[in-house]
Amino acid sequence: KPAIKIGHPGNSDIFLELSDATSRLGNEGYQMAIAESLKITASAYKGLFWGTRTLLQLLEQHKEIPQGLAVDYPTYSVRGLVLDVGRKFFSMDFLRKYVKLLSYYKMNDFQIHLNDNGFKKYFGDNWDSTYAAFRLENDTYPGLTSRDGHYSKQEFRDLQTLGRKYGVLIVPEIDVPAHALALSHAVPAIG
């Protein structure tokens, strides 16, 4: 485990610094100066974190990193992915790994589509027998929670916490009215 020091870097050290000097780069921008030591400077945690992702990518591609100065900041404020877990359940372990993968590529938004239904034409043109799923645990309407795969409230909170740590905003999407068949199956009166 590498030693963590506070102060000035020595030769071959990796040094992380939060500084207002890079505020022009925004919350996600950073500067990487490579000389006798490697110094990543950002005005906010997320920028500093993205700098460490670039460092990991460089280390995977090269045995040595050339000296110089790199400045990086995103062109777009939202860079993300939507995953439909309503129609196809994915394990929480898969979602946690995906957060880390998105973070590695500096994608900052992970929208998780939590409810959906099949197409009635594949279920005898009958909405009552059409597959529908709601992937979050629900205490108020327990029949709403999918039996073939769902996430507990705590699991989803923990995923959101992991996302914050890795610079990825977890956006839980509950899509209504178009994909609300699971809700009307659980609570027929709202149909």
pLDDT (tens digit per residue) in 1-34: 555 667 778 888 899 999 999 899 999 999 999 9
The average confidence (pLDDT) of the chain is 93
pTM of the model: 0.87
Residue 83: closest CA among 70, 74, 96? 96
Measured CA distances, 153 to 29, 39, 136, 147, 159 (Å): 33, 40, 7, 15, 10
Tokens standing for 67?
Answer: 């000296």
**Pairing state of beta strands 68-72 and 30-34?**
antiparallel
Tokens standing for 47?
Answer: 């920028």
- Backbone φ and ψ of 150, nearest 5°: -160, 175
Distance CA 73, CA 58 (A): 17
- Backbone φ and ψ of 59, nearest 5°: -65, -30
- For residues 72 and 32, is the Cβ–Cβ distance under 8 A? yes
Peptide bond into 172 cis (omega under 30): no
Residue 49: closest CA among 16, 19, 21, 74? 16
Q: What is the pLDDT of residues 129-186, one digit of tens each?
A: 889 999 999 999 989 999 999 999 999 999 999 999 999 999 999 998 888 999 999 9
Q: What is the largest CA-CA distance in the chain?
A: 71
